[in-house]
Amino acid sequence: MSSEEKRSWVYLVVGVGVAAVYLVTVLSKLPGADVTRIAYVRPMLVAIGAGIGLGIVASIAAAIASPRGEAGRTDERDRQIHRRGEYVGFYVMSVAATVPLALAMAEAAHFWIANALYLAFVLAMVASSTTKIVSYRRGF
C-alpha cells in the first residue's frame, strides 16, 4: 500500500469518525428542542479542529510506520489518482453546497445552514477519499 493510499484511508476514517461523533452529539439534542437554542458552534469548531489535528497525527504515524524510504514518495500514478479524487470531491462539494445556499435563501435557522454546510464538506471528503482508495484498489 502506497503512502498516498494510506493517507486517503486516514482521512476517510478520521473524517467519518469525527463527523459521526459531532452529529450524534448535536443531533441527540434535537428532539423536542428549539434549534435556535441548540449550542452547535463550539462542538462544530471542536470537530473541525479535532479532524484536522487527528488527520495530521494519524498521517505522521502512518508515515513513521511505512517501510524506510516509502513515505513521501509519489509517482505519476499517485498524482493522477490524487487529482481525480480532488476533482470528484470538488464536484460533490459544488452540488452539496446548493443545500445550505437554498436554506439561506429560505431564511432557515443558522443551525440548519451551518450543519448542511458541514455535511457538504464531509460528503466531499468522503467522495474524494473513496475515489482515491477505489482507484488504488481497482487500478487507474
Give the side-chain half-sphere CA count within 13 A for 125.
23
What range defines the domain where residue 13 resides? 3-138
| Consecutive 10-residue averages of pLDDT for the chain (140 residues) | 84 94 90 85 94 91 74 78 94 96 95 95 96 88
pLDDT at 133: 94
Separation CA 81–CA 96 (nearest Å): 22
Q: What is the pLDDT of residue 88?
A: 96
- In the chain, the number of structural domains is 1
List b or e across 36-69, with b for residues whose CB sees 16 or more CB atoms inside 10 angstroms. eebebeebbeebeeebeebbeebbeebeeebeee
pTM of the model: 0.86
Residue with cell 514518495: 73
Predicted confidence at residue 60, as pLDDT, reads 87
pLDDT given for residue 68 in this prediction = 66
Alpha helices (H) along 1-140: 3-27, 41-65, 76-96, 98-105, 110-138
Q: Which residue has the cell 493517507?
A: 7
Query: Rounded to whole angstroms, how far apart are CA atoms 135 and 104?
Result: 36
